[in-house]
Structure 1
Amino acid sequence: MDERTMNEENGTDICIRIDEQIENLKLLSPKLNNESIEYSENTSVLYTMIGTLQDMKMCIREIRELRYFIESH
């Protein structure tokens, strides 16, 4: 397996793991909604984490697109 193929597979694996973590965090949301005192702080952290993971996925996609662009020119 060449380096490019390995990098592609690693990037895909990372995106799959990020999706899994986002789903796991979303499952926590109803549980946090039942905690009245710490609801706002915990929920805010939860959605910040989900947003950060989604940003990471977008960055991986953009890096791939940039690499394809550079390699094709």
Structure 2
Amino acid sequence: MDPVIEQRLVELESRLAFQEHALAELSDALAAARAESSDNARRLEMALADLKQLRTFLYPDPASEPPPPHY
């Protein structure tokens, strides 16, 4: 085989291996980012539910309160 062609083939194989490795790393990073995003969304939903419960506790419905004494 021609040494120039063999050198080019080795270089192409090396580039392909590097790109496959980079693609695997990007895939892992994307999976981690999606998991973190899902976890953050779950935490936000929990925080909003807690806030809603706290609002209900601090500011009850005025219609359910008895009328003031001067009525």
Q: TM-score with structure 2 length normalisation?
A: 0.50
Q: Which has the larger radius of gyration?
A: 2
Greater length-normalized contact order (CA 8 Å, ≥ 6 residues apart)? 1
Q: TM-score with structure 1 length normalisation?
A: 0.49
